[in-house]
Structure 1
Amino acid sequence: MRTCAPWRGRCGVSLRSGVLLLLIPPFLLALQLLVVGSLLPGVARVWMGLEERDGGVAFSVISIEPKRSSPHRGTPSRRPGVAEEEAEMDDGQRRGEGARAYEDENEMHARQVRKEVGPRALEVQLWAAGEPSFTAELNRIISYITRPQMNCSKVLSPGRAQPAQSPAAPAHWLLCAEDWLLPATHKTCVAYSFSMDGGDADFLKTVSGLGCEIHCFDPSNSNASGGHLGNSLASNHGDGGVVSQHKMWLEWRAPKKRAHKRRGNPGGVSQTLADIMAALGHHTVHFLYADLLSGEWRVFQNWIEAGTLQNVHHLVAKVHLQWAGFEVAGRDEEVLRYWFSVLQGLQACGLKLVHSSAGEGHSVLKQTVANAHSSYTLSWVNTRH
């Protein structure tokens, strides 16, 4: 003490300076945490409390908030404190609930699309005999198209609009007239016919008697309206029994694969069934007749792959076997397997065969076959509508 006595003032200053030096680092650390923490919104904020304990400073954690996403730019800041926390929590819950509702809506829509008969790729079937065989493939397809898959207690036969238990005479086609398969009386009935040889006269008579809105498509019909989409497609607005003529034909190629067509091109234009229905404002075609002169196989494939068949309730179509058909190629057994794959695709879309009628001739892929015919008129009903 005597030694320090002359320097008492300086020793006191040194002791105080030492204490201050010890307090500066904790103080700077606390200040840094408070400042940096407030500037980093993405980091979990830590509320710090300062307590004097044994003459020093201690830090105690009051609460740790869960990590939140950074606010969007341009979002006005809220008043800090409890009100901000509550507002952020409510806003986060609303965003979470909105996102969840949006996801649920999309998931439900996707499930609905899958549940309905939506677009699908044509599945090529396995060989009937495990290997290429003309006889095996022919027997399989003939057996398939000559055996109805559904019995109807009431039918509509060609030219008749009144249901009967059985046709009065052998018929080229039949419509299943079960109550649950016919259009409701208070709804518009829509019928389409694609034919160039006048073979649809009885069909038109039947659907006219049902009071359907009827549309006939024939690119060779000189009485039909003009040759492009804007003029050739006009609905008769649900007038029962009235027939609208369209100088148009069915297309099976996707729009990007179609050749460019000029206005005034002979034969008019061709559109897919989905395009025609959209242009006419029809969601459903209750009755459809098609004699496509060997173009049916590619058209059927388009309907399968585009998902159009979910909106067709009754289909009457003539299939031609004497040659492969438009844009169909390959060895004979490959063509037969392709045809059978198309028929299986129709069935997978919900169509069930209710009637089969053989045409004239016995030529299949230019070969004479005694137990087969050159053409068949097939009648299907969609059991999934």
Structure 2
Amino acid sequence: MDMGRERLTLGLLLRVGVLLTAVCVCAHVYLEMGWRRAPAPLGRPTQASQNWGQLSRTKAEAEEQHRSVKRKISYVRTLKKDSQAREKGEGREEPSPPLRPHRKTPRWHIDLEPWAGESHSLEDEAKRFLNYITTPQVSCASLAGEEAAQEGTKGAWAACLDPKFSLTHRIQSKRCRVYSFGLGVDDRSLERSLSRAGCEIHCFDPSLKQPHMQQAEMWLHRLSIDWRDPNPAFAAQRQYANTKKLATILNDFGHREVDVLKADMESAEWKILENLVLEGVLDSVGQLLLEVHLHWAGFEVAGDDPSVVRYWFSLLRELEHANFRLFHVHRDMTKPHLFLHKNVLNASSVYTLSWVNTEWKP
């Protein structure tokens, strides 16, 4: 009887021992697996994380290299046309700098020059302004359109072909581009002369019946320059907008620069010039030929007469600050001698002014 109890106790103890051993083994296995799955401590990356990081870096470097190659290809394609002329007949050159953008940081207003005199009178302002526009700042040895000026034809437009400036070199390399803005029938003798020399001519006239056409080696466009872009709500209703800012036209045509910009805008020239100054588009212009009208203030130009003339003078001084220098002046004696509806210093109501960008290096 005692022997049976002893065997029963021994068997029970054996089962309990086996059960405890199994529990310990399971706990050990569980803890071991949990330890292996735990993240590696900072500063001690595991082999798997090292492999993944290396793979990520390799993939990122490959993508960056691919983007770099695409940028280089795009850059080469952009400059290919310009670089061919430079490389022709020359040795190895340094890579050309990237093309400059059309606009600088926009400004909100021009800087007004001090008053011409303490009295703020129209006479003082007019005397300073007229003296400024009738005094060339640089000399030009050769003028395109000089014959028309001597004959006294309308506008007497002239472009500077002096070798010390860039237009002659651009013509020789067949990279000259001209923009001509006018309304209706205008004198295009200068455009024809530059076209025969090899320039690419674009004439803009909103009165044309077709949006684009080619005529006598010139492109004609049903478009005009303005100091503002059209309202999108109205522009969407018609296929072609008739007026746009110069920066917008350059972008639409895919042009970076214009060697000669000629504009006869019938009193809109002051606000257009202000827009070119404020948006920094003057850097894209080599020569600026502008007909100015002095019989009234011009579109959206407000203030009393002395303030208007001070504003005109300040605009022209902005041109000088942008490295433009006056090289040719034509006074149209066939027009009435009116200066803001008055006869002041026997001034004509229309002058044609021509400036050259002395820092023009496209």
Question: Could you say which residue in structure 1 is the equivalent of 2:326?
Answer: 353
| Alpha-carbon displacement from aligned partner over 1:82-101 (angstroms, at most 9, x marks no partner) | x9xxx9xxxxxx9xxxxxxx
- Indicate which of 258, 262, 269 corresponds to 2:242: 269
Q: Is the 8 A contact 2:140 2:160 kept in 1?
A: yes
In the superposition, relative to structure 1, how do residues 158 and 151 fare at CA in structure 2: closer, same or farther (>3 Å)?
closer
Question: Could you say which residue in structure 1 is the equivalent of 2:81?
Answer: none
2:166 equivalent to 1:181: yes
2:137 equivalent to 1:149: yes
Counterpart of 1:214, as a letter, is I
Deviation at 1:260, TM superposition (A): 3.2
Question: Could you say which residue in structure 2 is the equivalent of 1:293?
Answer: 266
Question: Could you say which residue in structure 1 is the equivalent of 2:207?
Answer: 220
- Indicate which of 351, 358, 362 corresponds to 1:383: 358
Q: Is the 8 A contact 1:158 1:203 kept in 2?
A: no
Secondary structure, aligned partner of 2:201? strand
Deviation at 1:206, TM superposition (A): 1.6
Secondary structure, aligned partner of 1:260? helix
Residue ranges of structure 2 left out of the alignment (5+ in a row): 1-38, 55-60, 62-97
Q: Is the 8 A contact 1:219 1:268 kept in 2?
A: no
| Alpha-carbon displacement from aligned partner over 1:33-64 (angstroms, at most 9, x marks no partner) | xxxxx9996xxx9xxxxxxxxxxxxxxxxxxx
Secondary structure, aligned partner of 2:172? coil
| Alpha-carbon displacement from aligned partner over 1:269-291 (angstroms, at most 9, x marks no partner) | 21111111111111111112110
Q: Distance in 2 between matches of 1:308 and 1:364?
A: 29
Structure having the larger proportion of residues in helix: 2
Q: Is the 8 A contact 1:146 1:356 kept in 2?
A: yes
| Alpha-carbon displacement from aligned partner over 1:193-225 (angstroms, at most 9, x marks no partner) | 11114233212222212221111111122xx42
Q: Distance in 1 between matches of 2:253 and 2:284?
A: 14
Question: Could you say which residue in structure 1 is the equivalent of 2:219?
Answer: 244
With 371-380 and 121-130 compared, the bigger mean Cα shift is at 121-130
Secondary structure, aligned partner of 1:364? coil
- Indicate which of 239, 250, 253 corresponds to 2:228: 253
Structure having the larger proportion of residues in strand: 1
Deviation at 1:327, TM superposition (A): 0.7
Q: Distance in 2 between matches of 1:337 and 1:135?
A: 11
Secondary structure, aligned partner of 2:234? coil
Q: Is the 8 A contact 1:355 1:379 kept in 2?
A: yes
Counterpart of 1:181, as a letter, is S
Question: Could you say which residue in structure 2 is the equivalent of 1:190?
Answer: 177
TM-score using structure 2 length = 0.65
Question: Could you say which residue in structure 1 is the equivalent of 2:114?
Answer: 126
Deviation at 1:263, TM superposition (A): 3.6
TM-score using structure 1 length = 0.62
Question: Could you say which residue in structure 1 is the equivalent of 2:14?
Answer: none
Secondary structure, aligned partner of 2:194? helix
Q: Distance in 1 between matches of 2:234 and 2:324?
A: 34
Secondary structure, aligned partner of 2:288? strand
Q: Distance in 1 between matches of 2:174 and 2:202?
A: 17
Q: Is the 8 A contact 2:323 2:358 kept in 1?
A: yes
Q: Distance in 2 between matches of 1:279 and 1:151?
A: 35
- Indicate which of 116, 128, 140 corresponds to 2:128: 140
Q: Is the 8 A contact 1:233 1:279 kept in 2?
A: no
Q: Distance in 1 between matches of 2:150 and 2:205?
A: 30
In the superposition, relative to structure 1, how do residues 116 and 188 fare at CA in structure 2: closer, same or farther (>3 Å)?
closer
Question: Could you say which residue in structure 1 is the equivalent of 2:286?
Answer: 313
Q: Distance in 1 between matches of 2:223 and 2:189?
A: 21
Secondary structure, aligned partner of 1:368? coil
Residue ranges of structure 1 left out of the alignment (5+ in a row): 1-37, 46-76, 88-93, 95-111, 161-166, 226-231
In the superposition, relative to structure 1, how do residues 329 and 168 fare at CA in structure 2: closer, same or farther (>3 Å)?
closer
Q: Distance in 2 between matches of 1:247 and 1:137?
A: 38
Question: Could you say which residue in structure 1 is the equivalent of 2:187?
Answer: 200
In the superposition, relative to structure 1, how do residues 114 and 215 fare at CA in structure 2: closer, same or farther (>3 Å)?
closer
Greater relative CO, 1 or 2 (CA 8 Å, sep 6+):
2
Question: Could you say which residue in structure 2 is the equivalent of 1:5?
Answer: none
Q: Distance in 2 between matches of 1:140 and 1:203?
A: 30
Deviation at 1:130, TM superposition (A): 3.6
Secondary structure, aligned partner of 1:367? coil
With 268-277 and 286-295 compared, the bigger mean Cα shift is at 268-277
In the superposition, relative to structure 1, how do residues 113 and 286 fare at CA in structure 2: closer, same or farther (>3 Å)?
closer
Secondary structure, aligned partner of 2:175? coil
What percentage of residue pairs aligned between the two structures are identical? 34
